[in-house]
Structure 1
Amino acid sequence: MILQREALEISPTKIILQHVYHIDTAYTRNFIGNHYKRLRNTLKQYYYIIELKQKILITILKCI
């Protein structure tokens, strides 16, 4: 009987911990995903600026 009671006492905490873990991993995944998207967008902007500078330099050099 004592072992059964201990098993019942442990299982609700295990369930709660599993729920907390799932919530935590989902939040972490969303957090990383959002930061990755933001970083990717800024990198695209930097590449666009670099391409523009190269085009401007090429046109200036062609004119000279």
Structure 2
Amino acid sequence: MKKKNEYKNTWIIGSTTMLGLGIGFIFLQNSVQIFAASLIIGIGVGLVVTSANFDKILRRITN
């Protein structure tokens, strides 16, 4: 079974996706493309933050 800290990456990706979804709903009346773009940007930001966080964790383990 995984430890509690190992699920942090999925929480980061999920929360930024939900943030992008919420922002997308604001602009949904204007354009569907902005809705889709904000969702994709939310996923992308989550992946970038997760990879930066992963490098930080990897440095702690190796040192």
**Normalising by the residue count of structure 1, what TM-score does the alignment of the two structures yield?**
0.50
What residue in structure 1 maps to residue 54 of structure 2? Answer: 40
Deviating above 3 A after TM superposition, structure 1's stretches of 4 or more consecutive aligned residues are none
Distance 2:49 2:30 in 1: 30
Q: 2:42 aligns with which of 24, 28, 37?
A: 28
Residue segments in structure 2 that go unaligned for 5+ positions in a row: 1-27
Q: Flag structure 1 segments of 5+ consecutive residues without an equivalent.
A: 1-12, 50-64
Bigger relative CO (Cα 8 Å, ≥ 6 apart): 2
Shift of the alpha carbon at 1:14?
5.4
Task: Note the alpha carbon deviations across 1:4-50, whole angstroms, 9 max, x for none.
Answer: xxxxxxxxx7571x21110101111110000000000110000011x
The sequence identity of aligned pairs, in percent, is: 0
Q: Which amino acid aligns with 2:45?
A: F
Larger Rg: 1
Aligned residues, how many?
A: 36
